């Protein structure tokens, strides 16, 4: 591993102010990272969920996914797809043996959780840069960086979040929230609970998704690395 340093040297404020980025950041303060603590979703937080998905659905990449799933007959209407998109990502379930509803696909993948002292999930670079900017993320180096020379790229890394270790995690770096959402949703619908092989800009990539309890709820989604 290379020596520890900052993960992000610079992130453009203009980028983070774009509709999907700003709405993602607004959502990230809604979650209780520790599993076993109930997630209370307020009316304001529900509105933030709807605003994030509306902004994402207003982008070309989500419009393309919507057209694709409708063309394949996976949904009877755009409204049905949009309702399921909200359900699969924001539907609550329990990672604490049924004690409380303490998790969702969105929280696990885009925000991250702490279970038994170790970071679980947290496969989104926008969250990592926000944590690092707040002084809460200690970057400990990478185990794989590639195959792209520009953004987005796939990174496998180690870090500590509020002192809790993530021994190895992988994510797309530099991608938009709507790109991650579209790619993970596509693989969750087409290849749930297994490897999903895709071509991104001519380079092969593999996305792993898991469903929660064999339901139509996202348990996890992330790019695999060697």
Instruction: Give catalytic residue positions.
Output: 108, 123, 166
Coil, strand or helix: which one is 120? strand
**CB-CB contact of 172 with 223 (8 Å):** yes
Question: For 196, phi and psi rounded to 5 degrees?
Answer: -120, 110
Distances in whole angstroms, Cα of residue 193 to Cα of each of 18, 37, 150: 32, 26, 29
What are the C-alpha distances in Å from 27 to residues 3, 44, 89? Answer: 32, 10, 13
Question: What are the DSSP calls for 155-188, one per residue?
Answer: EEEEEEETTEEEEEEEEEES--HHHHHHHHHHHH
Return the closest-CA partner of residue 90 out of 184, 213, 180, 217: 217
Q: Where are the alpha helices (DSSP H) in the chain?
A: 13-16, 19-27, 43-57, 60-71, 78-90, 105-106, 125-133, 177-190
For 107, which DSSP code? I
Instruction: Give residue for tokens 């809790």.
Output: 164
């Amino acid at each position: 591993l290379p020596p520890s340093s900052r993960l992000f040297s610079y992130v453009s404020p203009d980028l983070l102010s774009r509709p999907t980025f700003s709405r993602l950041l607004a959502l990230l303060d809604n979650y209780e990272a520790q599993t076993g603590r109930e997630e209370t979703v307020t009316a304001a937080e529900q509105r933030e969920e709807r605003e994030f998905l509306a902004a994402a659905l207003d982008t070309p990449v989500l419009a393309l996914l919507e057209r694709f799933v409708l063309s394949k007959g996976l949904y009877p209407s755009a409204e049905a797809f949009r309702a399921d998109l909200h359900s699969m990502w924001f539907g609550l379930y329990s990672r604490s043996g049924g004690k409380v509803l303490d998790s969702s696909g969105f929280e696990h993948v885009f925000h991250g959780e702490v279970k038994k002292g170790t970071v679980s999930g947290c496969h989104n670079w926008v969250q990592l840069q926000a944590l690092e900017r707040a002084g809460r993320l200690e970057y400990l180096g990478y185990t794989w960086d590639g195959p792209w020379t520009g953004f987005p790229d796939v990174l496998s890394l180690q870090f500590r979040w509020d002192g809790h270790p993530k021994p190895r995690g992988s994510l797309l770096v530099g991608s938009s929230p709507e790109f991650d959402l579209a790619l993970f949703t596509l693989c969750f619908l087409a290849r749930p609970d297994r490897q999903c092989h895709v071509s991104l800009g001519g380079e092969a990539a593999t996305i792993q998704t898991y469903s929660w309890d064999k339901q139509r709820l996202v348990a996890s989604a992330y790019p695999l690395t060697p």
